[in-house]
Structure 1
Amino acid sequence: MKVAQLQQSIREYAHAIGIDKIGFTTAAPFLELKNRLKRQQELGYQSGFEESDVEKRTEPTLLLDQAESIIAIAVAYPSKMDASPKGKKGERRGIFCRASWGMDYHVVLREKLQLLETFIATQVPDAKMRSMVDTGELVDRAVAERAGIGWSAKNCSIITPEFGSYVYLGEMITNIPFAPDTPMEDECKDCTLCLDACPTGALIQGGQLNAQRCIAFLTQSKKPIPEEFRAKIGNRIYGCDTCQTVCPKNKGKYNLHQEAFAPEPQLTKPLLTPMLKLTNRQFKESFGHMSGSWRGKNPIQRNAILALAHFKEEASVPLLAELLVSDPRPLIRGTTAWALGEIATAEAIEAVQQALQTEEDPGVRIELNNVLESEQRKC
C-alpha cells in the first residue's frame, strides 16, 4: 500500500475508533521549543512532573530509531455536566477539573493508540512505532500544533476549531514517512482574557506558564501549599479550569459525545467532609478510575480542607479539630490548623490552642502559632 493511501486509511480508522482529530507531522527536532524549555528551566517555571532532559523532549529521533513522522491525536472531553449537584451550608462540595471527569484519559487514549498501532502493523508489518500520552518525553502540545490539530493558545492549551481547548492529546512516533499536515494560524490575536483571569498570575505572558504558581499544579503537589495561594484555591480539589472557561473559543463547546468521559456528578463534585474520612482503599474504590486520583488521597484531602476554609464552613469544625490532633500526617494537620484559623469561630480557635500543647512537628507548630498570633492582632 502506498504511503498516501495508508495515511488516508489511518485517518478513517482513527475516526472509526473514536479519535476526534488526527494529524501528521515530521520527526524533525522542535528547535524553537528547545530554547523555550531551557529558558523555563532557568526561570524555575517547570512543575517537576515533566521529563527533565530537554533533548529527549525535543528530539524525536532520540526516542525511536529511524523516526520519520509523528501522528498526533486529539480526543474531546466534556465541558458541561448535567444534573450538577449543588452544595449548601453544612453540605459543601469540591470540584475536580473537567480533565478529570469520567475515565482516566491516559488509559482511554493509550487504548486508542494501541488500536492504531495494531492497524498500522497489519498494513506495514515492519513498521516501528512508539506511542505516548501526557507522561511521555515529547511535549504533546508542540506535536499537536505542528501536526495541525489546533493552535497553541495564550493559556498554554491547544485550541481546536471543533472542540475548543477541551481535548486530550497523544502521539505516535513512527518510521513511516507520512506527508505532514499544515499548522493552523493562531487565532488568539489580541485577546488576553485568560491571562487576566488567572487567579494566581501563573500565565506570565501568552504561551508562558509559571507552573509553580498554577493552581492545577498546586492542587497536585504533595507539599504544603504556600500561604499566598491557599485562599485562591477556592473549592477546587483537583486542577483548575479558569483559563479555559473564560476563553471565547470555548463558548458553546460542550463535547458530550465521548461516553468514557461522561462525568459522574457525585464524584466530580463530591461532598467535602466525607472525603476527609476516606481510607486509601475507599479512595481508590471511589476515585481510582479518574485521572485526578493519580497523586493519591493526601493532596485531595488537603485541598478539601482548604475548600472548607474557603466556605468558612462552621459545621466542619468538630471534624477538623479531631484531625488536628489525631491525623498522623503533618501535611493534613498543618493545613487543618490554617483552615481553623480562617473559620475562626471560638471553637475553632480553642482547638488550635489545645493542639499547640501536644503538637511536636515544627512545621505544624508554625501554622498553629500563626493562627494564634493572627487572632491576637485582631484584639
Structure 2
Amino acid sequence: MIIEQLQKELIEYATSIGVDKIGFTHASPFHEMKNRLKRQQELQYQSGFEEPDIEKRTEPRLLLNSAESIIAIALAYPSKMEDAPVGKKGSRRGIFARASWGVDYHVAVRERLNLIEQWLKNRVPDVQTKSMVDTGELVDRAVAERAGIGWSGKNCSIITPEFGSYVYLGEMITNIPFIPDTPIENECGDCTLCLDVCPTGALVNPGQLNSKRCVAFLTQTKDFLPDEFRKEIGNRIYGCDTCQTVCPKNKGKMNWIHEEFKPEPELAKPLLKPLLHMSNKEFKAKFGYMSGSWRGKKPIQRNAIIALAHFKEQSAVPDLIEIMDKDERPVMRGTAAWAIGKIGGSDAEQALLKAREKETDEEVLKEIEKGLTLLKA
C-alpha cells in the first residue's frame, strides 16, 4: 500500500477511536534532548521515576532496531470540574491534579495504541511496533514536539493550540516510513507566568525543571516531606496544576470530550478525614482506577495530614492523635505529630508530651519536637 494513503487512513481511524491529535516523525536520535538529559543528570534534577538510561530515552533504534518513524498521539483531558464540592470547616477537602481525574490515562492511551497497532497489523502483515505511555523509555514530550502535536512550553508541558497543555501523550515506534509532520512554532513568547508562580521554584529556567522540588513529584514521595515544602503543598494530595492553570494558552480550554476522563467530584476532591483511616482494600476499591493511586495510600494519607494542618482543622486533632499513638508507620506518626503542633488546641501539648514518652523512632521524635515548638510559637 502507498504510504500516503496508509497514513491518511490511519489518521481517520485514530480519530474514530477517540485520538484527539496524531502526528508523525522520523526515528532519528533526539540529539538536543540527549544533551538536556545529561545536563539534568549532572544537576541531579531527575525525579528517579524516569528510565535511567539516556541512550534508550533518545535513540529509538535501540528500542526497535528496524525503526523508521514514530507515531505520536494525544488525548485531551478536562481542565474544569462540574459540580465541584466545596470544603468547609469540619469537612475539609483535598484535591487530585487534573491528570488523575477519571480513568487512569496509562490505560486509556495504551488502549488506543493497541487498537492502532492491530489496525496496522491488519494492513501491513510484517509491521513491527513498540508502544509506550509515560513510563516508557522515550521522552513523550520530545516525540510529541517533533511530531507536531504541540510545542514544548516553559512549564515543561506540551502545549497544543486546540487543547492547551491538558493532553495525555503516547507514542509508537514502527518500521513503516511514515511522512514526518512539521513541528509547531513555540508561542510562549516572553510570558513567564508559570515560572513566576511555581510554588517551590521547581521551574528553574524556561523548559528546565528540578523534579525534586516539583510539588507534583513531592506529593508522590513516601518518606517525610522536607519542612520547606509542607506549606507549599496546601491541600494537594496528588500532583500540582499551578503551572498549567496560569498559562494563557489554557484559558477557556474545558476539554469535556471523553467521558472516561470526567472526574467523579467526591473522588477528585475527597474529604480529608476519611482518607486517614482507609484500609488498603478500601483505598484500592475507591481510588484504584485513578492514576493518582499508583503509589498506594501512604503518600495520599501523609498529604491529607499536611492538608489538615494547612487548614488548621481542629476537628481533625483526635484523628491525628490516634494516628500518632497507634499507626505502625513512622512517617504517619511523625507527620501527625507535626500537624497536631501546627493546628494546636487544648489537647495538643498533652498528647505530644505523652507520645514523646513512649516513642522510640528518632525521626518521629524529631517531628514531635517540631510539633511542640510550633505550639510555643
Shorter-normalised TM-score: what interval? over 0.9
**In structure 1, how many angstroms separate the alpha carbons of the residues matched to 2:352 and 2:125?**
67
Corresponding residue number in structure 2 for 1:117: 117
Amino acid at match of 1:311: F
Q: CA deviation at 1:361?
A: 0.6
Map of 1:346 onto structure 2: 346
The question of whether the paired residues in 1 share the 8 Å contact of 2:150 and 2:158 is answered with yes
Deviation digits for residues 96-146 of structure 1, max 9, x if unmatched? Answer: 000000000000010000000000111101000000000000000000000
Report the equivalent of 2:265: 265
> 2: distance between equivalents of 1:87 and 1:368?
28
Whole-angstrom distance in 1 between the partners of 2:100 and 2:307: 18
Question: Following TM superposition, where does structure 1 have runs of at least 4 consecutive aligned residues deviating by more than 4 angstroms?
Answer: none
How much does 1:371 deviate?
Answer: 2.2
- Residues 1:10 and 2:7 aligned together: no
Deviation at 1:334, TM superposition (A): 1.1
- Aligned counterpart, 1:63: 63
How much is the aligned-residue C-alpha RMSD, in angstroms?
A: 0.7
Between the aligned partners of 2:192 and 2:336, the Cα distance in structure 1 is 36
Alignment of 1:213-232 (within 5 A): 213-232=213-232
Runs of 5+ consecutive residues of structure 1 not aligned to the other structure = none
> Matches of 1:128 and 1:233 in 2, distance apart?
44
Pairs within 5 Å for 1:1-379 = 1-376=1-376, 378=377
Deviation at 1:373, TM superposition (A): 3.5
Does the 8 Å contact 2:29/2:58 carry over to 1?
yes
- For the residues of structure 2 that align with 1:251 and 1:141, how far apart are their CA atoms? 21
Distance apart, 1:293 and its partner CA: 0.1
Deviates more, 1:165-174 or 1:364-373: 364-373
2:56 match: secondary structure: helix
What SS class does the counterpart of residue 346 from structure 1 fall into?
coil
- Distance across 2 between alignment mates of 1:18 and 1:333: 45
Q: CA deviation at 1:275?
A: 0.5
Separation of aligned partners in 2, 1:348 and 1:209: 39
- 1:222 CA displacement: 1.1
Cα distance in 1 between the residues matched to 2:375 and 2:266: 37
Q: Given the two structures, how large is their TM-score scaled by the length of structure 1?
A: 0.99
- For the residues of structure 1 that align with 2:346 and 2:141, how far apart are their CA atoms? 50
Report the Cα offset of residue 346 of structure 1: 2.6
TM-superposed deviation, 1:372: 2.0
Give 3-state SS (helix, strand or coil) of 1:335's partner.
Answer: helix
**Number of aligned residue pairs:** 377
Alpha-carbon distance in 2 for matches of 1:225, 1:370 = 13
CA distance in 1, matches of 2:39, 2:334: 34
**1:298-337, Cα deviation, whole Å (9 max, x unpaired):** 0000000000000000000001001001000001111111
Percent of matched pairs sharing the same residue: 67
Structure 2 unaligned segments of length 5 or more: list them. Answer: none
| Residue aligned with 1:130, SS | strand
Q: Report how far residue 374 of structure 1 moved.
A: 4.2
Distance 1:216 1:293 in 2: 13
